[in-house]
Amino acid sequence: MQFQDIEALLVLSFGGPEGPEQVMPFLRNVTRGRGIPDERLATVAEHYQHFGGVSPINGINRALIEQIRARTELPVYFGNRNWEPYAEDAVAAMRDNGIRRAAVFATSAWGGYSGCAQYQEDITRARAAAGAGAPELVKLRSYFDHPLLIGMFADAVADAAATLPAELRAGARLVFTAHSIPLRTKDRCGPDLYQRQVAHTSALVAAAAGYSEYDQVWQSRSGPPQVPWLEPDVADPLDAPARRRTRAVIVCPVGFVSDHIEVVWDLDNELTQHAAAAGIAFARASTPNAQPRFAELVLDLVDELREGREASRVPAPEPVPAFGQSLNGAFCTAACEAPAQRR
C-alpha cells in the first residue's frame, strides 16, 4: 500500500488524566459499557492519585510530538481515545484545516485487539464524528520489530544494568514484561498473535543486549480473579524456587512504548517493593518515551507509506506477522472482526 500524498500526521493514543478531578471521569471512559461500579474504579484511581492525579502519558506524547515536528514539515495532530485531547476533535481540526489524507501513528507497537484493532475502531469513530469532509486516515503498521525500537530497548537494558551494584551485574536476571490480556481474547486477529509478537521482540532485544537467558512475563491484569489472563505474572520470577539465588533483576517493560501508569505504579512502585522484600536488587529499563530515535521511527513508518518500500524490520529466521496498516479504520485482517461479525 502506497500513499504519496500524506498531508499530516495524527498521533493516536490511549489518554490519561491530568488532574485529581479528572481521574474518575477518565476511568469511566476507559470502562464504558462494561458495567464496572465506581467502587472498583476507586481502587485503580488510587494509583493515579499517588501521582497527583496525573498520568505521564499525555506529557510524554506532547514531548514526542515536539521531537517529530523538529524533523518534518508535516503538521502533527494529537488525539486520544479516553481523554482530552480526543481523537474526534483532532480529526475535526484536520477537516477544518483542509487536510485530505493523514497518516496515523498509534502509540502501541503491537497487533491484536487492544494493541491495534481498537485503534482502528477509534479511527472509524473519529471520522464518523467529523462527518462530510473528514480526511482519509491511513493507520501505520505495527512496529514491534523495527530496528530503532529494538535498539532503544537494548540500550535501555544496558543503562539499567549499569545502575546495579557492580558485583551483581553479571548475574542479574533479565525479565521482559508486557500488559496481560484475557485468554478469551488472545486469538483475536490471529492465533496468539500478540503473545508471539511480544516473545519475538523480547528475543530480539535480549540478543541485541547480549543476553542468552531471560524471562517473559505479563503484568497489570484486572477484573475478577476467576477470569484467566496470560501468565506468568511479573512477580513470579522473584518468587520462583529456581530464582531464590537471584540477587538482582533487570525489568524491561518491552510491551510499553512510554511510561503508562502501569509502568510507574505497577513496576516502579509495587514490583520495586516486592523485590526489596525479597532482598533482590532491582533495575527498571526505560521505555522509548520521547527519545529522538522514537520520533525517527515514526517518520520512517511514514516514509515507508509514502514510498511504498519494504518495511524496516530486524532480520529473523522466523519473523512474526506484523499487520496493522489500514485505511479509514478498516481491519487489516478479517481475523480481527468480532466473532459475531464473522461469516
Identify the CATH number of the domain in which residue 92 sits. 3.40.50.1400
- Same domain, yes or no, for 29 and 65? yes
Closest CA to 203 of 150, 155, 157, 249: 150
- Same domain, yes or no, for 190 and 259? yes
Q: Identify the domain boundary among 249, 265, 284.
A: 284
- Same domain, yes or no, for 86 and 162? no
pLDDT at residue 11 above 90?
yes
As beta bridge partners, residue 215 has 175
**CA 206, CA 201: separation in Å to the nearest integer?**
8
**CA 325, CA 140: separation in Å to the nearest integer?**
5
| Residue 341 placed within a domain | no
**CA 26, CA 194: separation in Å to the nearest integer?**
26
| Residue 2 placed within a domain | no
Decide: helix, strand or coil at residue 18. strand
- Same domain, yes or no, for 207 and 296? no
Assess contact for 157 and 285: CB atoms under 8 A. Answer: yes
- Same domain, yes or no, for 213 and 266? yes
- Same domain, yes or no, for 279 and 298? no
Q: Which residue, chain included where needed, has cell 478498516? A: 330
Q: Identify the domain boundary among 265, 284, 303.
A: 284
| Residue 3 placed within a domain | no
| Residue 312 placed within a domain | yes
As beta bridge partners, residue 11 has 78, 105
**CA 54, CA 79: separation in Å to the nearest integer?**
17
CB atoms within 10 A of CB 102: 24
Mean pLDDT of the chain: 94
| Residue 138 placed within a domain | yes
- Same domain, yes or no, for 167 and 39? no
pLDDT at residue 228 above 50?
yes
pLDDT, average across residues 211-237: 93
- Same domain, yes or no, for 15 and 51? yes
| Residue 343 placed within a domain | no
pLDDT at residue 243 above 80?
no
Helix, strand, coil shares, percent, the chain, to 5: 45, 15, 40
**What pTM did the predictor assign?**
0.95
- Same domain, yes or no, for 234 and 156? yes
Question: What Cα–Cα distance (Å) separates residue 69 from each residue in 41, 175, 260, 299?
Answer: 36, 34, 23, 10
Assess contact for 54 and 120: CB atoms under 8 A. Answer: no
What is the amino acid identity at position 48?
Y
pLDDT, average across residues 265-281: 95
**CA 8, CA 5: separation in Å to the nearest integer?**
9
- Same domain, yes or no, for 312 and 212? no
Query: For the chain, what is the domain count?
Result: 2
| Residue 322 placed within a domain | yes
Q: Identify the domain boundary among 284, 308, 325.
A: 284
Provide the angle, in degrees to the nearest 10, between the axes of the packed helices 292-307 and 57-69: 60
- Same domain, yes or no, for 185 and 120? no
What is the amino acid identity at position 103?
A
CB atoms within 10 A of CB 45: 18
pLDDT score recorded for residue 34: 86
Domain that holds residue 267: 147-284
**CA 164, CA 175: separation in Å to the nearest integer?**
15
pLDDT in tens, 38-83: 999 999 999 999 999 999 999 999 999 999 999 999 999 999 999 9
pLDDT in tens, 300-335: 999 999 999 999 999 998 889 888 999 999 998 888
| Residue 43 placed within a domain | yes
- Same domain, yes or no, for 81 and 135? yes
Assess contact for 238 and 284: CB atoms under 8 A. Answer: no
pLDDT in tens, 181-192: 999 999 989 999
pLDDT in tens, 244-257: 678 999 999 999 99
